[in-house]
Homo-oligomer: A and B are copies of this chain.
Amino acid sequence: MHCDPQKAWNDIIMIASLETPKLILDLDRLEQNASRFRQRAQQQGILLRPHLKTSKSAEVARVATGGRMSSVTVSTLKEAEYFAKEGFSDVLYAVGITPNKFDYVRQIQDDVKQNILLILDCLSVAETAVEYSKRTGCAFDFLIEIDCGEHRGGIASDDPKVLEIARILVDAPNIQLRGVMTHAGHSYGTDKIDRIIEIAEDERTSVVGASQVLREVGIPCEIVSAGSTPTFLHGQSFEGLTEMRCGVYVFFDLAQYSRGICRIEDIAISVLATVVGHNRRAGVLTIDAGAFALSKDQSANTYRPDVGYGYICDAATMERLGGLNVSTVHQEHGTVPISDESWFERLPVGSMVRVLPNHACPTSSAHDHYIILNNQRVTARWPRVNGW
């Protein structure tokens, strides 16, 4: 079936009648993952602020927040606008803001009548924000970004700039310094749980340390935000934190599986593909999910080189088919090497498979919607907000 993105989704159909490639989301698995993480947050007495960069979908966000419709994280201002317009409040845009984006922030805030929570780690941006706010009347809510060891965004918690930035912001009219945040992106760089536990503790102590720097001079620090899927799952203490931000856990993927963060049967996302060719000279099947439908991300392969660009599964049952994987991708072709010719009979041209993706975020980003599966029936079509 051709799913015209312009048309409403009216039919209840089975997976076998879908056209391909299609991004499939298993509702049961999504709900299980979301529920498990919400429960852990409750047990730890901490707010879970899901990072919606993975799903970019209001419907997924409703599941992730358990209907709370508040306190979410986004990776683009376009997402911030979309989720705020979909009714979500307390939206954190977790990429360092720069002055050339102030106009867009102001437009969003005017449209949705709420402030977007922004992050910064730079004196000049703080100074420019104060000037901009004075000139335009635009309100800003900020967190200061702390570098807990990944050395991407942020400044060290003991860097004198933490206080310098804070002092610029606290006295400015229309500006609220709400707290501090960090992200241990390097927690994805290991498959050793002991090492993740250490990184989680570094993440916690660095951002809690920064909050103490502020409070010691009488600057309030309402929000102390950290988090990634691995550090939330394996962190031993959340003391001093007010919230954790995790993203990929809603879908999981083979990159997380390769690091021991999830089981294969937790992975909620897959790409439905059709076998479009048999190349008997090369001993390969070709499917219509290639570099675009799967992405060229190979995050899993450090720990599981056999993942290639994804594992091949039965389209209906999601059981893995032998050890088949997608070994090579071109724009719209994926190449699946086979060990023996019986696969040509088992997977004739025109038959369908599902591919468990290497990394859920980039795989999903090529698709503008999800096909929602519930007990193997297609029940909905959920849009995504891609791009910038």
Give chain A's interface residues, CB within 8 Å of chain B.
1-2, 5, 17-22, 53, 75-77, 95-101, 103-104, 107, 121-122, 124-125, 128, 147, 151-154, 156, 185, 274-279, 281-282, 284, 286, 288, 291-293, 295-298, 330-333, 335, 348-350, 352, 361-362, 365-368, 386-388
Most chain B CB within 10 A, of A22, A107, A332, A361, is at: A332
- Given A76-B332, A331-B361, A387-B368: A122 and B277 within 8 A (CB)? yes
Residues of chain B lying within 8 A (CB to CB) of residue A288: 95, 98
Q: Is the interface of A mostly helix, strand, loop or mixed?
A: loop
B100 and A19 form a contact (CB under 8 A): yes
The residue of chain B having its C-beta at the shortest distance from the C-beta of A54 within the complex is B331
A388 and B21 form a contact (CB under 8 A): yes
- Given A368-B386, A368-B387: A156 and B350 within 8 A (CB)? no
29 interchain pairs, CB-CB under 8 A? A1-B103, A2-B77, A2-B104, A19-B103, A19-B388, A20-B100, A20-B388, A75-B332, A76-B332, A95-B276, A95-B333, A96-B277, A98-B275, A100-B274, A122-B278, A124-B348, A128-B350, A147-B281, A151-B279, A151-B284, A152-B330, A153-B333, A154-B277, A296-B296, A296-B298, A365-B366, A368-B386, A368-B387, A386-B386
User: A279 is contacted by which of B2, B153, B387 (Cβ under 8 Å)?
Assistant: B153
A332 and B279 form a contact (CB under 8 A): no
CA distance A303 to B341 in the complex (A): 35
CA distance A252 to B16 in the complex (A): 39
